[in-house]
């Protein structure tokens, strides 16, 4: 009787050569998309309920769906090293990790370009430097660890940038006009869904309002 073929759940399973410190570091870098998805967007929805963040996450899901469609259509093999690792259950072109990270970096950069003031500009530059650095490191990690070829990660990066920029335009120039209606809908009110992208400095806005509310409660 032929044994059934097995497929692994590889959400957080990344292999590297024992004793390779750079490989160990890059294995963790390779997990950044997981940290962003679970730690970033899930916690952002639970605590913030921001429409911009929700559409950002939706765009990443659409990008990943497009990635899977292309992989199944092209069916390009991964490098031989990936076969040795026994972790290659899908095709390699384009790299989904690279596509994810470059989509994230592109969308986030466009989202923050309206920042004004010296401090806001410096903060924007610093945060976006981190975003693009993590995207480049993730792309490099997939080649270094043997999961993808150079061509596969560059294809993923290019698609991520194109889809990220396109989705930003769709959300902020087409769908944005519907944000007030979503806020005022019964579901929007029930789940406290809101949009604060029109506020220049959300942290300062919330800080000032929290202090004002505390002062008002003392007066009562």
User: CA triplet 78, 158, 99: central angle to 5 degrees?
Assistant: 60
Tokens of 197: 């992208």
pTM here? 0.85
Mean pLDDT over 93-115 rounds to 89
Model pLDDT for residues 1-30, shown as the tens digit of each residue: 555 555 555 555 677 777 878 877 887 888
pLDDT of residue 100: 93
pLDDT of residue 64: 92
In the chain, what are the domain boundaries?
A: 21-173
Contact 72, 91 (CB under 8 A): yes
Higher pLDDT, 92 or 83: 92
Phi-psi region of 146 (alpha: psi -120 to 50; beta: other; left: phi over 0): left
Per-residue DSSP letter, 81: H
pLDDT of residue 83: 67
Mean pLDDT estimate for the chain: 83
Reduced to 3 states (helix: H, G, I; strand: E, B; else coil), residue 72 is: helix
């Amino acid at each position: 009787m032929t044994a059934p073929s097995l497929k692994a759940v590889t959400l957080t399973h990344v292999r590297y050569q024992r004793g390779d410190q750079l490989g160990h570091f890059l294995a963790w870098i390779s997990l950044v998309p997981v940290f962003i998805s679970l730690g970033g967007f899930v916690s952002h929805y639970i605590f913030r309920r921001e429409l911009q963040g929700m559409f950002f996450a939706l765009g990443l899901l659409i990008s990943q769906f497009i990635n899977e469609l292309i992989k199944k259509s092209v069916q390009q093999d991964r490098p031989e090293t990936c076969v040795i690792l026994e972790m290659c259950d899908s095709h390699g072109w384009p790299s989904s990790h690279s596509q994810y990270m470059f989509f994230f970096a592109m969308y986030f950069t466009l989202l923050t370009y309206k920042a004004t003031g010296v401090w806001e500009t410096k903060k924007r530059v610093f945060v976006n430097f981190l975003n693009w650095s993590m995207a480049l490191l993730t792309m490099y990690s997939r080649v270094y660890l043997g999961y993808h070829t150079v061509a596969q990660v560059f294809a993923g990066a290019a698609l991520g940038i194109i889809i990220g920029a396109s989705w930003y335009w769709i959300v902020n120039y087409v769908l944005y006009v519907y944000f007030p209606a979503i806020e005022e809908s019964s579901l929007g009110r029930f789940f406290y869904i809101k949009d604060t992208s029109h506020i220049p400095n959300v942290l300062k806005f919330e800080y000032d309002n929290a202090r004002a509310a505390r002062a008002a409660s003392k007066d009562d």
